[in-house]
Amino acid sequence: MELKLGGVRLGLAALVAAGALSGPACRVTVREDPPPPRREVVVVEEPRHEVLIVRTAPPPPSEVVVVAPPAPIIEVRTAQPSPNHVWIDGYWFWNGRKHVWIAGTWHPRPAGRTVYVGGHWEARGGGHVWIGGYWR
């Protein structure tokens, strides 16, 4: 800490000494601002649509989630990019804290596959599990 007095810079030691020499009429108090509170930042990777994982059989069920997923969102389909593209519906993804909507998308059919079986939530074990989609 410095104080400028008449063009002369006085450091902390000089200020304390000046206070000691001037007697009880002058008092110097030095306070530091407390450090800012620590904030915990949780980085959650944005989920990608599960259709990007090309499966040819149903995956095993996911963890049991006690919070029921909301009703599906009715989405407006954009124009089909090509006859080879299939519309994959959006779905609710559980990120460990809450359900997050993953929007529907057009996706090209993988070679040799014609149908996408969409994923769905199923009531099980006192909660709900996600049964992922797959190509057949």
Q: What percentage of the chain carries pLDDT values higher than 90?
A: 28
Residue that has been written with the tokens 């904030």 in this structure: 39
C-alpha–C-alpha distance, residues 57 and 118, integer Å: 12
| pLDDT, position 110 | 85
Mean pLDDT, residues 16-25 taken together: 53
pTM (2 d.p.): 0.56
| pLDDT, position 43 | 41
Phi, psi (5° rounding) for residue 128? Answer: -135, 145
The closest alpha carbon to 134, from 118, 120, 121, belongs to 118
Tell whether the model's pLDDT for residue 14 goes beyond 60. Answer: no
Residues 88-126: tens digit of each pLDDT: 999 998 888 899 999 998 989 888 777 888 999 999 888
What is the H or E stretch that residue 86 is in?
strand 85-88
Residue that has been written with the tokens 């007697």 in this structure: 23
CA angle, corner 69, sides to 72 and 126, nearest 5?
140
What is the H or E stretch that residue 9 is in?
strand 8-10
Mean pLDDT, residues 36-56 taken together: 53
| pLDDT, position 84 | 92
